[in-house]
Structure 1
Amino acid sequence: MASRISELVLACRDPELLARFWCEVLDFVVLDREDDGAIEIGPREGFGGAQPTIILSPQEDLSPAHTYRLHIDVNATDRDQDAELERLLKLGARRADVGQSGEEPWHVLADPEGNVFCLLRRRLDPL
């Protein structure tokens, strides 16, 4: 009965620059490039392995009032997304609005101190 950290999402001005830097630092590779300029880097085995991937998300305004620089994405390991959402809400998480459309396949939540994180749809092996 748990979730796993699957991704760390870092808001940044220059995803390409940070992708090169962190790939060298961590011996990661570029796993995906999104149309919005986001870049996912991670271990050669890809998403869902023992290490979380890092998504470098382009943001023009990085002031504290406009964005969280780092947030965690989690995936359920032993239940579907709806059941995990219910469990997290009972544990004290609450829904958070960071400007999402409502059509995303993930849920944006905040922990009891207000730190934003996302619950993704895909279930992962607990490892």
Structure 2
Amino acid sequence: MACRISELILDCADPERLAAFWSEVLGYVEIEREDDGSIHLAPPGAGFGGPQPTLLLSASDDPRTGKLPLHLDVNATDRDQDAELERLLTLGAVPADVGQTGEESWHVLADPEGNVFCLLRARLDP
């Protein structure tokens, strides 16, 4: 038997702000809010333990931002990469420089708190 990833946790200063951003990016919905302000997001109708991992935006007084040892990669599901890039920039993502050459097939972005993630080229089924 093996494990699978059930939840991704992102420490952040403003869970409300990042929940709004990541909900729009991933099409997730809020499933739980904790007393400390942390917010759990998941695919609609799935909840914790579903086929995709939930995302916990954990309230922290000391969040780390920038290029972390682990980052998220996302793929568009209903449009090409260029259209998805425009959508993400409109939602508040900004281009990030982590030393890429400019020849990559992906775009490096940062969320509203500066957490780096990548938009990959391939379109995936929703």
What is the TM-score of this pair, normalised by structure 2? 0.50
What is the TM-score of this pair, normalised by structure 1? 0.49
Q: Which has the higher strand share?
A: 1
